[in-house]
Chains A and B, each alone.
Chain A
Amino acid sequence: MTDNVLSQQQRTTASGSSTETPGTEPYLVVDNLTVKFPTADGVVQAVTDLSYTLEQGSTLGIVGESGSGKSVSSMAIMGLHDYKRTQMSGSIRVGGREILGLTNNQMQSVRGADVAMIFQDPLTALHPFYSIGAQISEAYRAHHDVSKSAARAKAIEMLDRVGIPQARSRVDDYPHQFSGGMRQRAMIAMSLVNDPKLLIADEPTTALDVTVQAQILDLLQELQREFNSAIIIITHDLGVVAEMADDTLVMYGGRCVEHGPTKEILTHPEMPYTWGLLSSVPEVSGDTDARLIPIPGNPPSLLDPPSGCSFHPRCTHRDKVPGDLCRTELPELVPGNRGSHHLKRCHLADPDSIYAAEVLPEIAPDLVDVIIEAREDDTPPAPEGR
């Protein structure tokens, strides 16, 4: 960990301005991140060798089940892990600045100003004793040297911006006086008050109703266009990813198992776990007689992860790999047959044709022709503007 304390003196001011670095490095670079928690039962390896990058103005969707390490990895970017109890290695660079290894005080200047987070449950994330306005202006004053009244004006402006009606009178309300959707809007207002360049949304809509979820997703996209911020959206819902994310990263057992442009991942998934995620969700327009195909078994224990590929005990395609490779050897995260943009961690030689021949007809018998057709006129990836 000590070797990460390299670039503390890079920036001394606490303001969130001008972190543009020369060169072409993307705004967020996560490189070989590993997070371990020593516990009484042994070391929990929550995240292992996770690497990805994110440009400003684009959205990354991280998909996985509970315990797959998706939240732990993004909390590391926020510096929210207890440094005394967590072992972290690798590198996280935000705007060129290494943040792994920063002290809590140094992290304060990054948190909120450069990187902000929206949590899943706004009722527990907002403080019940303080008014919404007070909480937003506190976040603003932490990074800006302004008067209380100016901060309050800023809070009203932000509440208005995220679509709270009568923001001027609602600013003094307490969280319990807001509905679920309005609380989530207030959270978004709070996280955006310092114009962060990176926004991490951890299951931002899971606690919300569908119609409100649609409102919040629309709002996030709108704000992203306005502020040109990078967004990491963490979810278990592939539907949310399909609508929001440019890139998708699938996590399983603390590792990235598939990573690529969202459309590519959804039309040409190459990892049996991703197939499982697609097949176990019924669709509002699917075939009602089709039986759901669950992924058998349970998610792996991170205390005692399976040998080889961590998905192999639940994988129904492991017999297609010669020998006992899946059980004995961890597959590398390498580009598949479809080019360098699409990374997968699987021993299967030609997963794409297995998907088209075996998995797709099971998942969507009524859509299979349409999807095959759509797959054919796919030209590998131009990051599509939305």
Chain B
Amino acid sequence: MTQTDVTPASGSERGTSGPILEVSNLTKHFPVRSSGLIRRTIGQVQAVDGVSFQVQRGQSLGLVGESGCGKSTTGRLITRLYDPTSGSMKFDGREIATLNNKQMLPLRSEIQMIFQDPYSSLNPRHTVGTIVGTPLRVHKVVPEKQVLNRVRELLEVVGLNPEHYNRYPNEFSGGQRQRIGIARALALQPKLLVADEPVSALDVSIQAQVVNLLQDVQKEFGIAFLFIAHDLAIVRHFCPEIAVMYLGKIVEIGDRETLYNRPHHPYTQALLSAAPDVKQAAIGGRRDRIRLEGDVPSPINPPSGCRFRTRCWRAEDLCAKVEPPLLQIGKQHKVACHFAGEFDAVGEKPVPSTLAALGVNRAGDKVADATVDVESLDKAGYDDTWTDLAEHRQASAQVAG
């Protein structure tokens, strides 16, 4: 694997510090048009509605959520397969949300994507050599004569036989096809890989092979990952930092230990409790399952206030009136819930933790000035100070250690 000349992309032109990707208040609304001749816009599907996060260099951020929560749309916005409605995306310090296609072209080599379905994402009429070689040709990374050599190297990196460049996708199994897709994404030595459900279409025994390959690739080439998946166990395994999305918004984001061991948002708690766990079951332990009623509401007409309130067992009038901000409650932990608290506290309802910050009373009426600048909550990353839930005061990294 190491005899290839695939070297970690050097950050020569632009900075080498700071996050590789910083997304602030990213929004994507798809218009819903009426039928008929004029086709007026009669609504907006709010697929992604004000999402902010950072991906650090060489690190992985996981995006989890149910279908329709906007996680795939977020991935496609970052690769600019969709144009954002508003918001900013800074890649390597450079704003890419407003670039046109021509300006975007040189950057596309640095942001690559791995797709979910290895059957529909490879052209059945092209050989593997053509599929993996095309990015090299388009971006003229290597002279035409060396393309084949490079393709062979890439196939070897992803664990395929390099002599198979002449074959067609249908001659490969699902796991092998996904490896071809990974080789294609690696061809341009990207700095950021958006992996949209990279293993969910594969057999269980093959999933582990591909996850291990992605981890090897990340370690060897220092690629940052935005890892989109609905499988909580895989995301936890792959990503040190994880964001949970619900109906186009991030409801909780934090490092994996905090998020999986002490989730504060009721939706995260429900997701975690619903995931079947073989090894726990094997020893007879079974966690209490939180039963969520109903389905995810339509993103065309999302509920007022907190979007999760229609399925939430903690919801009060306050939740319908005031949208909970994504408040930082720990060193690397943000949550958007008025009644944020650990699962143990389900019995006695925690006191709304956001009231003081927002300057509202429990009925949702404005009573004072907000102590937290709500605008500043849209920004990505973490602050040195945060709101301590237990003591209802501002805490800081120095105090809390």
Contacts and interface: CB of A to CB of B under 8 A. Distances in A.
Nearest to A280: B208
Given A286-B279, A288-B256, A374 B284 contact: yes
Interface stretch (B8-16, B121-129, B228-236): B228-236
Contacts of B284: 263, 374
A65 B211 contact: no
B279 A367 contact: yes
Interface string A233-245: 0001111101100
A376 to B, nearest CB: 11
A263 B277 CA distance: 13
Interface in B191-245: 203-209, 211-212, 215, 230, 232-234, 236-237
Given A65-B203, A239-B276, A281 B208 contact: yes
A165 B294 CA distance: 9
Contacts of A242: 276-278, 281-282
A69 B278 CA distance: 23
B236 A266 contact: no
B288 to A, nearest CB: 12
B280 interface: yes
A265 to B, nearest CB: 9
Contacts of B215: 291
A211 B66 contact: yes
A284 B274 contact: no
Nearest to A236: B204
Given A179-B295, A242-B278, A292-B208, A267 B233 contact: no
Interface in A259-283: 263, 266-267, 276-283
Nearest to A294: B208
A285 B274 contact: no
A237 B295 CA distance: 23
A218 interface: yes
Contact of A211 (B209, B236, B274, B279): B274
Contact of B283 (A66, A278, A280, A367): A367
B289 interface: yes
A213 B271 CA distance: 10
Contacts of A66: 174, 203
A283 B233 contact: yes
Interface in A276-320: 276-286, 288, 291-296, 298-299
- Interface class of chain B by DSSP: helix
Interface centre among B67, B175, B230, B284 (most CB of A within 10 A): B284
Contact of A209 (B230, B272, B278): B230
Given A211-B292, A277-B204, A277-B205, A283 B283 contact: no
A236 B283 CA distance: 20
A133 B278 CA distance: 37
Given A267-B283, A284-B233, A367-B283, A293 B208 contact: yes
A212 interface: yes
A251 interface: no
Interface string B257-293: 0001000000000111111111111111010010110
Interface residue tally on A, bucketed by range: 35 or more
B173 interface: yes
A284 B278 contact: no
A56 B60 CA distance: 48
B276 A285 contact: no
Most buried by A among B236, B256, B278, B292: B278
Given A210-B271, A284-B233, A370-B283, A294 B278 contact: no
**By CB atoms of chain A within 10 A, which of B173, B281, B292 has the most?**
B281
A240 B275 CA distance: 9
A77 interface: no
Interface in A169-189: 179-182
Contacts of A277: 204-205
A85 B250 CA distance: 52
B29 to A, nearest CB: 21
Contacts of A374: 282-284
Contacts of B237: 282, 286, 288, 292
Interface string A206-247: 000111111100100000000000000000111110110000
Given A236-B203, A292-B211, 4 more contacts: A212-B295, A240-B276, A282-B236, A295-B209
Interface of B: 66-67, 173-176, 203-209, 211-212, 215, 230, 232-234, 236-237, 256, 260, 270-284, 286, 289, 291-292, 294-296
Interface of A: 65-66, 165, 179-182, 209-215, 218, 236-240, 242-243, 263, 266-267, 276-286, 288, 291-296, 298-299, 363-364, 367, 370-371, 374
30 contacts: A180-B67, A180-B295, A181-B295, A182-B295, A209-B230, A209-B296, A210-B230, A210-B271, A210-B275, A211-B66, A212-B66, A214-B274, A215-B291, A218-B289, A238-B278, A239-B277, A263-B282, A280-B204, A280-B208, A283-B233, A283-B280, A284-B233, A284-B260, A285-B279, A291-B212, A292-B211, A294-B205, A294-B212, A299-B203, A374-B282
Q: Which 8 A-B pairs have the closest CB atoms?
A: A239-B276, A242-B281, A294-B208, A280-B208, A209-B66, A282-B237, A266-B282, A214-B274
